[in-house]
Chains A and B, each alone.
Chain A
Amino acid sequence: SQQGEEDPQALSIQEGENATMNCSYKTSINNLQWYRQNSGRGLVHLILIRSNEREKHSGRLRVTLDTSKKSSSLLITASRAADTASYFCATSWGDDKIIFGKGTRLHILP
């Protein structure tokens, strides 16, 4: 299966700290994306990194991609209570299907 595997499955940190989530996948990809889901609602796209890119930033988000290790990381700096959510990586390859990983549940403690 191409499905990505995130780790950790769950993460609790203090507000203001940085949160790092990792994603590993199994085959070559076109790109890798990260999404956020708040409490059972629809997913919101955060960032897309192409297979020929190594790092990308968007506000407090930093994504890295290591295609040799088939892994990606999402760093959220200076975390806020509103960052509490589930985060999913998603990969695409070859066709139009986008396959999601199992997700990391992030809880920001006040």
Chain B
Amino acid sequence: SAVISQKPSRDICQRGTSLTIQCQVDSQVTMMFWYRQQPGQSLTLIATANQGSEATYESGFVIDKFPISRPNLTFSTLTVSNLSPEDSSIYLCSVGGIQGNSPLHFGNGTRLTVT
């Protein structure tokens, strides 16, 4: 299974600033998924990052707030912009789940606290 390295593991940021989260996979993958997990809640899909095309965002998430890069088949970044305390969450990248018929593999997540 894919090994996913996510950085940083945690950060404390001031409101109004931005945080960029990096996700590195040890093998080439077609799609990478970014999830948000608010405190005590389940995972919500933010967007699907496809190499060579713009990310596909889920309802309620917009590119201006969550710009995503996908420069190659092993790497992606998620930026959370103009931070507010409501953005305090765990952000997780994942790969796999092709056509929903295989498991998702997750990085260890980035715990973001906005003060």
Contacts and interface: CB of A to CB of B under 8 A. Distances in A.
* Binding between chains A and B: yes
Interface of A: 3, 30-31, 33, 35, 40-45, 48, 50, 88, 90, 92-103
Contact of A33 (B33, B43, B103): B103
Nearest to A47: B103
Contacts of B6: 42
Interface of B: 4, 6, 31, 33, 35, 41-45, 48, 58, 90, 92, 94, 97-109, 111
Contacts of B35: 100
B43 A100 contact: yes
A41 B108 CA distance: 5
A88 B109 contact: no
A105 B90 CA distance: 17
A88 B101 contact: no
Given A41-B109, A88-B43, 16 more contacts: A30-B100, A40-B90, A40-B109, A42-B106, A42-B109, A43-B94, A45-B103, A45-B104, A48-B101, A48-B103, A88-B42, A92-B99, A96-B98, A98-B97, A98-B104, A100-B35
Contacts of A31: 100-101
A45 B103 CA distance: 6
A30 to B, nearest CB: 5
B103 A97 contact: no
Contact of A93 (B31, B92, B100, B111): B100
A45 B104 CA distance: 7
A97 B92 contact: no
17 contacts: A31-B100, A33-B103, A41-B108, A41-B109, A42-B106, A42-B108, A42-B109, A88-B42, A92-B97, A92-B100, A97-B45, A97-B48, A98-B45, A99-B45, A100-B35, A100-B43, A102-B42
